[in-house]
Structure 1
Amino acid sequence: MLSLATNGTAYHAGAFNLARRRPSALCASPPAGETLPPIVTDPSTTSIVKTGDTTYWLSHSCTGPEILNTKKQVIKESAKNANFPGFRKGQIPPWAMPKMSTFAIQECITSSLNELLKGHDLEAKDGKVEVVEDVQEIGKNWKEGDDVHFTAEFEIE
């Protein structure tokens, strides 16, 4: 695995084209630091790196089936209170489904972050964990069954 640094941000390339000396794909990675061993998660989908005395960088993937299960639960719970004009009570209109997907992705990310922090005995300062990617944009572009990869930064007390 090769690493490149540009403007203080490190990138790693899964494959490297030696003829052109350019990476074929760039992915954001933490600046540097000590990697914490995986405790409760699959090391192929999760990485937590200590980047400073109290700062950490977390990278994780929520699986497609996990998001689909959450989406089903979200739709089921939302249908109990759904009352859209032109639709029967308890029916969710098709135009609201992308919002349900986005909400399911947010729920998966939140629950994953809580489990990961608890599994590593870490507690974010003021409970604040900042997800680097735009979750709304991920929700718009998400296709059913796809995994969602996200990164987050947080400080501990």
Structure 2
Amino acid sequence: MFSCLIWMFVLLCSSVADENSIRDADIFPSSPEIERGSTLKLFCVLGKRYTHHRNASHIIWKLNHELIARENYNIVNEAVSSVTIHNFTYSKAHVKCFTKYLGKEQLLVHTEVKSGFPPDTPRNISCMYRFDDELNCTWTSGRETNLRTNYTLYRNM
């Protein structure tokens, strides 16, 4: 929920940014990684080049090559359309934002979405400490996540 509020703030600020701060179109978030089976929400922002003769109601969305149903679209403002994809189960997929102009689809922007599972708690942690500053640790995890995962190790001296 908080991340959606942040993106809404970014999108609203983008509408008051100068002409050179946004390309012809942008997609937010870019290259997202989400938990498999969760809901994905993306925003397509039209740049100045398009907003003179088209608006967010002209935007269509595709997941890989399949058109996403219009009931999953939301018009945020004249320059911003969002799409919500429930129960995202692809390990990797492309979401594309198009505009329809003169009867043809024109690709505006796309992103690759990855999904995976949360990691298990690390087990069998083994660490080697060398020369007062180098600490190398290894561990095993129960399953592959397919997601970037950051671990924090706290060292007590």
Calculate the TM-score normalised by the size of structure 2: 0.25
Q: Which has the higher strand share?
A: 2
- Structure richer in helix, relative to its length: 1
Larger gyration radius, structure 1 or structure 2? 2
Alignment TM-score, normalising by the size of structure 1? 0.25
